[in-house]
């Protein structure tokens, strides 16, 4: 049986992949082991303190389209689970 | 003087390049259209300009991005023309600050200002210019505004000198200064930063002293230096943003509204399937068949007219036969399909320029991931329905090596435009009332084969490992009619050129081989010809999928290696040489090909669709796979799958035919 996903509120610390559509969060820590991947995420603007909004979710639940720094970026849930955030709303 | 044009992916570089040079390079609306550098000359000058593949930073992630970095670091460049997307300033400036570190003079072309204005993003050009100490020009590559002024600026050399600004904190800046004194290169600032980042490409430049400085930094910061640099760089950009950019956020844009429908949780996939079905139904189905017949009629009257003209001139029988039964029969059989190919090219071009293609990659990624591919594989697959060669090359944008290789090997399975004549011909004749459905079924068959093959490959060939998918979703754009028509025109032209060169030559060879026996006797029974004897050697390969030994089908299928449409050209020539058993359709009314039943017709289509692609595509596979061994593996794998499937189709189909 699938456990219902927890809902995170303002101030909570969690992984970006746990947020729902429309939620906003601030990046706290980037936990990617793979150097090339981390480099790419940094280059795309996922640095500490940046605000991210969950914009669109693909019809099959993965990947997810996020909005940051005024543009939209698609990421797989797995990669998003490497991004630790603090929920804003 | 040499100018390098560089910017983020999908920022309009190629559109600007076309304007600056007056050429017509391919443009599209998805990240990664340009995968190789392109050279041109700026209009009214003798300045060379290089269009480089788009990058987000000078730390490349995929092959085509490496081309750009290498070029910027190693080649002699006098001016960088950095194109900045006004609608995503921060990410664009991240690249800009890295380019500034190269120490090459630079002009910034601020593109898509009109769209930014509409979206409530206001950019203060003066402040931006001062903060970056770089000449900035606001342009619209699409609407051609201010491009003339840009050329003037480049020509006059009248631009700011971008003296270096401090981006990082004091300790970092001090370290950079010390490293700069210890290295010898054209780009000391850039190299110093790269050494601090421990970029693997530049570790060769490390000396003991520089290593010591970098190690010292790592101890002080207690963090990964790569991350520190990225953080600092973005902080610096945020400061500039706060001064120069005011944005009215959280507006519902057109793109959002459209995405609410096209990326809808329930409707997205049905909409996608209807669109794809529509494309192939239009191109390969009834409309395609109708136009093919129409052109075919003119072609046959042209052929009759030529024959009577030549006979009137007193040409010898063999020369009349060479022209009419060889050249016109072969090339003409191909040109019949031109109108429907134009339709296909048009529809694919629309798909590429609207921005929908990136969305397909986005919402199908999940499914592709399951079989070891990436959503990005979809881009080569869609381009592949036009031609496999550019499609195979476009797989470069996939950064994961396994996913890339699998995509390259699977792309030729997608029925390309050259296979369309095969589909139209067979489906139109054997499945008259359902030709559209049967044609479309082959595309879905292809998708099924791709999934199946990917699954097999992942299981037995490539070890499964985790990979990432990072893709920018572009805004929707209304396609530019001029670009689309030009794109279609170019592809149609290429097809005609191929028909006039390779197909013509192959047709002449086929005509020769079928007109003569080994003893070079002319006017023989085609069953005694050289071609027939070659075909008879190969006939057994095709026996299980045709239910008979057919030398005609065998030699024709082999010619698919030259070009897939050559199969039809060859069949037309062979049919023209043999006696007619029933009036009407030329090819299937001839004694050589009258054995075809719906089951063997479908099987023959399946074999030709999925077996080894043409030499051009095999060459592209060889280049992109990076080894001849892998290329052979791919070709053998493809042909093997094709043979097994064709045999299965025939055996099952034949069983049904017998029962009915």
Domain B2-156 has CATH 3.30.70.20: no
Beta carbon pairs, A and B, within 8 Å: 113
For residue range A49-62, what is the model confidence (pLDDT) as tens digits?
999 999 999 998 88
* Residue B81 φ then ψ, to 5°: -105, 105
Average pLDDT over residues B626-632: 92
Distance from CA of B126 to the nearest CA of A (A): 21
**Which of B362, B376, B464, B475 to probe by mutation at the A interface, max A CB count within 10 Å?**
B362
State how far the Cα of B145 lies from the Cα of B231, in Å rounded to an integer.
35
Q: pLDDT tens-digit profile of A22-56?
A: 999 999 998 888 888 999 999 999 999 999 999 99
Q: pLDDT by residue (tens digit) across B562-588?
A: 899 999 999 999 988 887 766 556 788
Average pLDDT over residues B294-313: 90
Q: Measured between CA atoms, how close is B305 to chain A, in angstroms?
A: 58
Tell me the C-alpha to C-alpha distance, in Å, between residue B418 and each of A73, B201, B425, B490, B562.
36, 42, 12, 15, 11
Question: Which of A37, A76, A79, A88 is the best mutation test for B, with the most CBs of B within 10 A?
Answer: A76
Secondary element (H or E) of residue A83: strand A83-87
The confidence score (pLDDT) of residue A1 equals 45
What fold does the segment set B170-247 form as a domain? Helix Hairpins (1.10.287)
Query: Measured between CB atoms, which of B234, B247, B362 is closest to A58?
Result: B362
Average pLDDT of every residue of chain B: 89
| Contact residues, chain A to chain B, C-beta under 8 Å | 30, 34-45, 47-50, 56-63, 65, 69-76, 78-79
Prediction pTM value = 0.86
How far is it, in rounded angstroms, from Cα B446 to Cα B465?
25
Q: DSSP for B361-379?
A: HHHHHHHHHHTT--GGGHH
CA dihedral angle for residue B561, residue B394, residue B337, residue B343, rounded to 10 degrees: 170
Q: Looking at B473-529, list the stretches that DSSP marks H as alpha helix, in order from N- to C-terminal side.
A: 481-498, 504-515
Q: Do B91 and A69 touch (CB under 8 A)?
A: yes
Domains by residue range for chain A, with CATH: 16-87 (2.30.30.90)
Report the residue from B90, B227, B365 with minimal CB separation from A30. B227
Sequence ranges of the domains in chain B = 2-156, 170-247, 271-659
Which of A30, A45, A62 is the closest to B94 by Cβ?
Answer: A45
Write out chain A residues lying below 8 Å of B32, CB-based. none
Q: What distances in angstroms separate CA B268 from CA B40, B474, B476, one per listed residue?
A: 41, 17, 16
pLDDT tens profile B598-607: 999 999 999 9
Residues from B contacting A (CB-CB < 8 Å) are: 56-57, 59, 61, 87-91, 94, 121, 226-227, 230-231, 234, 247, 259, 263-266, 268-269, 362-363, 365-367, 369, 375, 399, 466, 468-473
Which of A65, A58, A71 has its CA nearest to residue A16? A65
pLDDT score of B468: 86
B110: closest CA among B79, B74, B84?
B84
Residue of B91, B231, B365 with shortest CB distance to A63? B365
Give pLDDT, residue B292.
83
The pLDDT value recorded for residue B581 is: 65
Distance from CA of A12 to the nearest CA of B (A): 23
**Using CA atoms, how far apart are residues B657 and B654, in angstroms rounded to an integer?**
5
Residue B50 pLDDT grade (very low, low, confident, very high; cuts 50, 70, 90): very high
User: ipTM value of the model?
Assistant: 0.92
SS (H, E, C) B395-414: HHHCCCHHHHHHHHHHHHHC
Q: b vs e for B363-402, b when ≥16 Cβ sit within 10 Å of the residue's Cβ? A: bbbbebbebbbbbbbbbbbbbbbbbbbebbbbbbbbbbeb
Question: Do B379 and B397 form a contact (C-beta atoms < 8 A)?
Answer: yes
Sorted by sequence, the CB contacts under 8 Å of residue B555 that are 6+ apart come out as B510, B531, B534, B535, B538, B570, B574
Q: Can you read off the two tokens belonging to residue B179?
A: 């490293």
Q: What is the pLDDT of residue B286?
A: 76
Closest by alpha carbon to B545, among B610, B622, B487?
A: B610
């Amino acid at each position: 049986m699938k456990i219902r996903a927890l809902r995170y509120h303002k101030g909570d610390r969690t992984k970006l992949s746990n947020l729902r559509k429309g939620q906003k969060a601030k990046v706290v820590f980037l936990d990617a082991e793979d150097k090339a991947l981390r480099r790419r995420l940094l280059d795309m603007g996922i640095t500490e303190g940046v605000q991210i909004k969950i914009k669109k979710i693909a019809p099959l639940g993965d990947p997810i389209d996020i909005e940051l720094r005024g543009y939209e970026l698609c990421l797989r849930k797995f990669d998003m689970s490497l991004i630790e955030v603090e929920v804003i709303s | 003087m040499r100018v390098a044009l560089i910017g983020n992916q999908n920022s309009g570089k190629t559109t600007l390049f076309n304007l600056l040079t007056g050429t017509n390079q391919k443009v599209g609306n998805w990240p990664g259209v340009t995968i190789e550098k392109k050279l041109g000359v700026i209009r009214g000058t003798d300045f060379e300009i290089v269009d480089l593949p788009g990058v987000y930073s000078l730390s490349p992630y995929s092959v085509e991005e490496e081309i750009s970095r290498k070029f910027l670091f190693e080649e002699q460049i006098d001016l960088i023309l950095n194109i900045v997307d006004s609608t995503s300033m921060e990410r664009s400036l991240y690249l800009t600050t890295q380019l500034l570190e190269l120490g090459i003079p630079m002009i910034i072309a601020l593109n898509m200002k009109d769209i930014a204005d509409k979206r409530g993003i206001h950019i203060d050009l003066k402040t931006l210019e001062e903060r970056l100490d770089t000449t900035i020009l606001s342009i619209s590559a699409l609407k051609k505004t201010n491009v003339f002024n840009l050329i003037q600026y480049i020509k006059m050399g009248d631009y700011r000198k971008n003296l270096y600004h401090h981006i990082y904190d004091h300790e970092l800046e001090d370290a950079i200064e010390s490293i700069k004194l210890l290295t010898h290169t054209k780009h000391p600032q850039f190299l110093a930063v790269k050494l601090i980042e421990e970029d693997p490409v530049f570790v060769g430049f490390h000396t003991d002293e520089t290593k010591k400085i970098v190690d010292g930094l790592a101890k002080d910061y207690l963090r990964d230096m790569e991350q520190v640099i990225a953080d600092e760089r973005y902080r610096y950009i945020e400061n500039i943003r706060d001064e120069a950019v005011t944005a009215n956020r959280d507006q519902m844009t057109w793109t959002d509204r459209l995405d609410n429908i096209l990326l809808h949780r329930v409707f997205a996939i049905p909409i996608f399937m209807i669109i794809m079905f529509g494309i192939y139904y239009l191109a390969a189905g009834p409309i395609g068949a109708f136009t093919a017949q129409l052109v075919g009629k003119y072609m046959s009257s042209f052929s009759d007219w030529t024959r009577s003209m030549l006979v009137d001139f007193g040409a010898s029988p063999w020369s009349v036969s060479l022209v009419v039964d060889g050249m016109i029969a072969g090339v003409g059989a191909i040109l019949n399909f031109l109108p429907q190919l134009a339709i296909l090219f048009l529809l694919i071009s629309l798909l590429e320029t609207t921005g929908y293609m990136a969305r397909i990659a986005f919402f199908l990624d999940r499914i592709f991931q399951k079989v070891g591919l990436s959503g990005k594989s979809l881009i080569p697959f869609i381009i592949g329905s036009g031609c496999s060669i550019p499609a195979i090359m476009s797989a470069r944008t996939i950064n994961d090596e396994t996913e890339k290789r699998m995509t390259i090997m699977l792309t030729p399975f997608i029925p390309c435009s050259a296979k369309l004549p095969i589909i139209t011909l067979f489906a139109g004749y054997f499945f008259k009332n359902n030709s559209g459905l049967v044609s479309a079924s082959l595309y879905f068959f292809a998708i099924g084969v791709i999934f199946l093959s990917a699954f097999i490959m992942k299981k037995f060939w490539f070890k499964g490992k985790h990979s990432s998918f990072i893709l920018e979703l572009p805004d929707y754009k209304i396609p530019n009619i001029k670009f689309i028509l030009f794109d279609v025109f170019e592809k149609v032209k290429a097809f005609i050129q191929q028909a006039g060169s390779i197909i013509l030559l192959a047709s002449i060879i086929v005509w020769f081989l079928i007109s003569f026996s080994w003893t070079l006797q002319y006017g023989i029974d085609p069953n005694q010809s050289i071609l027939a004897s070659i075909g008879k050697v190969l006939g057994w390969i095709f026996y299980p999928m045709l239910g008979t030994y057919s030398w005609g089908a065998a030699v024709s299928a082999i010619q698919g290696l030259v070009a897939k449409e050559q199969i039809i050209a060859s069949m037309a020539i062979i049919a023209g040489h043999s006696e007619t058993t029933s009036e009407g359709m030329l090819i299937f009314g001839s004694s050589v090909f009258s054995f075809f039943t719906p089951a063997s017709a479908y099987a023959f289509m399946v074999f030709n669709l999925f077996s080894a692609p043409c030499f051009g595509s095999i060459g592209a596979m060889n280049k992109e796979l990076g080894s001849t061994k892998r290329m052979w593996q791919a070709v053998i794998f493809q042909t093997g799958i094709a043979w097994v499937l064709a045999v299965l189709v025939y055996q099952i189909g034949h069983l049904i035919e017998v029962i009915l």
